[in-house]
Homo-oligomer: A and B are copies of this chain.
């Protein structure tokens, strides 16, 4: 038999998504074969779908024959969560200017801290996270803040699952973590010491929104001068306050386009359309 034996229960859509998902965890260009393997699709099918995606600019070929995400996809995706990013960026920049340390902003997306923005200097430190990247909530300072100040059920649900260990320093005991989060709530800030990556520590504070937690901002500093990270707290809290003030007028759900409640009648965004 020639063809037609399509694996049942698999929609074309899911195949396209699987192809895109192949690029979720890598910055490299991938070969057709790699994509096919990652998406669990026959080569010929992959070939055709990838071809269409390239045609549309969602993927693009690199000069050496590899396949990468396309600029068009990036360009479209930039319209996601713009409200928060655009509003917050100057504040994250300020945070960097005032501290000289890598500054970042993260929100909760499922069980991960999703890094929305980060600002750093030319002298690169070993990066543990990147914009658009995710890290487990219990291993990062921003994550701990998010866990500590989220609704109780979020934390409870999170602690159900086993806590992944990224370095020898990661805290993986649920009981101990619960205590630590208690501390975070009491102190209004969280720290991590080499729990994500050896050589870097971090500190973060919550940014509130209408009483609830909105997001978290923090710093990543090399362990070498992390002995007194707490000295940055006044700046962190100051920026957090200003960011809160800048976002109060925007409904929390609108900030990210994520459903976290069942509110109604959220006003749509305004401003100039269609012009980039």
Contact = CB atoms under 8 A, between A and B. Distances in A.
A78 B133 contact: yes
B80 A69 contact: yes
Contacts of A11: 52
A46 interface: no
Interface stretch (A36-44, A182-190, A256-264): A256-264
A113 to B, nearest CB: 9
15 contacts: A27-B273, A28-B268, A29-B268, A63-B251, A63-B262, A63-B263, A64-B265, A64-B268, A71-B81, A71-B114, A74-B78, A74-B81, A75-B109, A90-B122, A97-B97
Given A71-B258, A74-B132, A97-B97, 16 more contacts: A13-B49, A20-B58, A25-B273, A25-B274, A62-B257, A63-B253, A63-B259, A63-B264, A64-B263, A66-B268, A70-B80, A71-B80, A78-B130, A78-B131, A90-B122, A91-B122
A197 B28 CA distance: 38
Contacts of A142: none
A256 B134 contact: no
Interface in A1-54: 11-14, 16-17, 20-21, 23-29, 49, 52-53
A115 interface: yes
A61 interface: yes
A135 B133 CA distance: 28
A24 B135 CA distance: 29
A89 interface: yes
Interface string A91-133: 1011011000000000001000011000111100000111111
A130 B71 contact: no
7 closest A-B pairs by beta carbon, nearest first, are: A133-B276, A78-B132, A77-B77, A74-B80, A12-B12, A68-B257, A69-B80
B79 A77 contact: no
A79 B28 CA distance: 9
Given A16-B13, A274-B25, A63 B266 contact: yes
Nearest to A49: B13
Contacts of A26: 79, 273-274
A128 B83 CA distance: 16
Q: How many copies does the complex hold?
A: 2
A173 B223 CA distance: 58
Contacts of A20: 58, 76
A231 interface: no
A269 B26 CA distance: 10
A56 interface: yes
Contacts of A257: 29, 60, 62, 68-71
